[in-house]
Structure 1
Amino acid sequence: MKKRKVILVTDGDQHVQRALEWLAKQLGGRCISQSQGNPSRLTGKQLVDFILQTPYDPVFVMFDDSGIIGEGAGEQALRYVATHKQIDVLGAIAVASDTNNQEWTKVHVCIDYDGNFTMYGVDKEGICEWEVGRINGDTVYCLDELSIPIVVGIGDIGKMRRRDDIRNGCPITRKAIEYILERSRRDENRKLHTDFSEVE
């Protein structure tokens, strides 16, 4: 059974949709436009159905709790998609928001609004914060509980003081996606090499 390769994105407003649709065309992926919503409108099962209909991957899928504290519709859908047997989660883009530290997740790395990788968390403007390896957001709480190979934290997609504007090519979001894809290819090559060594 062929699995669909998916990147989870924890935001779902129209700026995010436009950015991901544009980047999908640039990077040879697909964006599930129907996953746009603030908050998320589709269930995890509905999203999986759309994902499995895509002709190729990687597939970008949006999830949004719209500021609801706790596990809202977006996180419930995210959990369903991330644990589905036909979905191969390559990574997640954890998008920062103003939650007053009520909801946060660990991240492997963040990208600030200048496009620099950093071990510190970033806020919604993409500015580095003081906490190492964590980011505040409203649709990120369940990420720690899921087996996601790489979680990249960034500020507001398509915004960040216009640094991620679609007219500039959404460079921050693009960098996050490319990093996840690069790490995924590296892990896949390592696994193939390990499997080959075991056969020998």
Structure 2
Amino acid sequence: MSNRKQVIVITDGDEYARKTLDYLAPKFGGTCLSHLSDNPTKASSQEVIKAVKSAPSEPVFVLVDDAGWHGVGAGEHILIDLDKDPDIDIIGAIAVASHTKNLEWTRFTFAIDNEGNLTANGVDKEGIPVADVGRVNGDTVYALDQLNLPIVVAIGDIGKMYGRDAVENGSPITRQAIEMILERGGKK
């Protein structure tokens, strides 16, 4: 049995993502590090790693965001450093779509559209399926392809998607993504 901290990475850190994960994390018995999230992420890798290791419960939800920065930005540096740490196990990631069409994208295991349907197609920021099969555009997703993560779930913009993922509605799309990661994650 591993003593490594189980982490779920979310590639968004705006106020909607923070509010959504603060709402959902306790429902899964986990800890959300929303106090270290921002748009873009300003926390250092060392700060995030220290917070993960001292988190009182798992999974630990880590929100990283590059705010549209092209290439490897602050959020992706944290993602890479988390993956390298021997005491941390990234059991899955939620790849959040953005409008950065063809600038940055990642492959995913599957996507969930804004109605909760699983799809092989990518989704846009609103959670509507797009023509691209097996890839999603986003501004903090570039590094995900460099890592050997057990599961990557693509969804539209957390807490939004025409209100379908709003906290007031129970954030069903983000909840479903977390459930799928917990069900299938950690199995490389």
TM-score by length of 1: 0.91
User: Which residue type is aligned with residue 17 of structure 1?
Assistant: R
The alpha carbon displacement at 1:34 in A equals 2.2
The alpha carbon displacement at 1:33 in A equals 1.6
Q: Deviations over 1:81-121 (max 9, x none)?
A: 12211101110000000112110000010000000000000
- Kept in 2, the 8 Å contact 1:45–1:81? The answer is no
Look up the match of 1:127. 128
Ranges in structure 1 where 5+ consecutive residues have no aligned partner? 189-200
Provide the rounded CA distance (Å) in 2 between the counterparts of 1:35 and 1:109. 28
Structure 1 residue matching 2:62: 3-state secondary structure: strand
- Count, aligned residues: 187
Q: Deviations over 1:127-167 (max 9, x none)?
A: 00001100000000010001110000000000000000000
Matched, 1:165 2:178: no
Q: Deviations over 1:13-54 (max 9, x none)?
A: 010001001101111111012221010011111101001111
Based on CA coordinates, which of the two structures has the bigger radius of gyration? 1
After the TM superposition, which segments of 4 or more aligned residues of structure 1 sit over 2 Å from their partners? none
Structure 1 residue matching 2:185: 3-state secondary structure: helix
Look up the match of 1:183. 184
Matched, 1:31 2:27: no
Look up the match of 2:5. 4
What CA RMSD, in Å, does the superposition of the two structures yield over aligned residues?
1.2
Ranges in structure 2 where 5+ consecutive residues have no aligned partner? none
User: Which residue type is aligned with residue 167 of structure 2?
Assistant: I
Matched, 1:42 2:51: no
TM-score by length of 2: 0.96
Look up the match of 1:16. 17
User: Which residue type is aligned with residue 60 of structure 2?
Assistant: V
Provide the rounded CA distance (Å) in 1 between the counterparts of 2:110 and 2:83. 20
Matched-pair identity in %: 50
